[in-house]
Amino acid sequence: MALNFLYNYRGSSDTFVTYRRDVERLLQWSWLIRNQSILSHKREDIEAFIEFCLKPPKRWIGLKRDSRFKNINGQKTPNPAWKPFEAHVSKEDHKEGIKPDKNNYQFSQQALKVMFGILSSFYNYLLQEVITQGNPLLLIR
């Protein structure tokens, strides 16, 4: 179901990657952290996911942008160095030699706004396909 949703965004590489990132974070959190299907999510679950994104475990944070997949002998395979979140520094800090630090990870308000829109679209898609009964993001203000 997530693949079918993402397939709709295949026309723009940047959009596809952004949508895949946020849907994948939700799926991984649901399965690996909550041991729960996304189809059973309620408002409280999405609020917990948002809190998770604001302060993910350090093992989920990378210090550089690693590709999600590696090409090995013509096969796309998961990249073990990839992490769902990435610590950043500003261009100015980078020029001054400051390195990203997992302890200083911040999930920006802009990233939260984008993620909220993407996940709401995802749940609306699931509603239209009659896969789920509701969109838990609609209940969050």
pTM above 0.85, yes or no: yes
Same domain, 120 and 86: no
Q: How far apart are CA 101 and CA 98, in angstroms?
A: 9
Question: For the chain, what is the domain count?
Answer: 2
Q: What was the pLDDT predicted at 64?
A: 86
Same domain, 81 and 46: no
Residue 53: name the closest of 71, 35, 28 by CA. Answer: 28
Tokens of 89: 């520094």
The CATH number of residue 45's host domain is 1.10.150.130
DSSP H helical ranges for the chain:
2-7, 13-28, 43-54, 91-95, 109-128
Tokens of 32: 């690996």
141 or 65, which is more confident: 65
Instruction: Say whether pLDDT at 115 is over 80.
Output: yes
Q: What was the pLDDT predicted at 90?
A: 79
Q: What was the pLDDT predicted at 100?
A: 87
Residue span of the structural domain in which 99 resides: 59-106
Q: What was the pLDDT predicted at 62?
A: 92
Same domain, 8 and 43: yes
pLDDT confidence of 7, banded at 50, 70, 90? very high
Q: What was the pLDDT predicted at 96?
A: 83
The pLDDT tens digits for 13-59 are 999 999 999 999 999 999 999 999 999 999 999 999 999 999 999 99
Same domain, 135 and 66: no
Q: What was the pLDDT predicted at 94?
A: 76
The pLDDT tens digits for 59-113 are 999 988 888 889 999 999 999 989 999 998 878 877 888 888 899 899 999 999 9
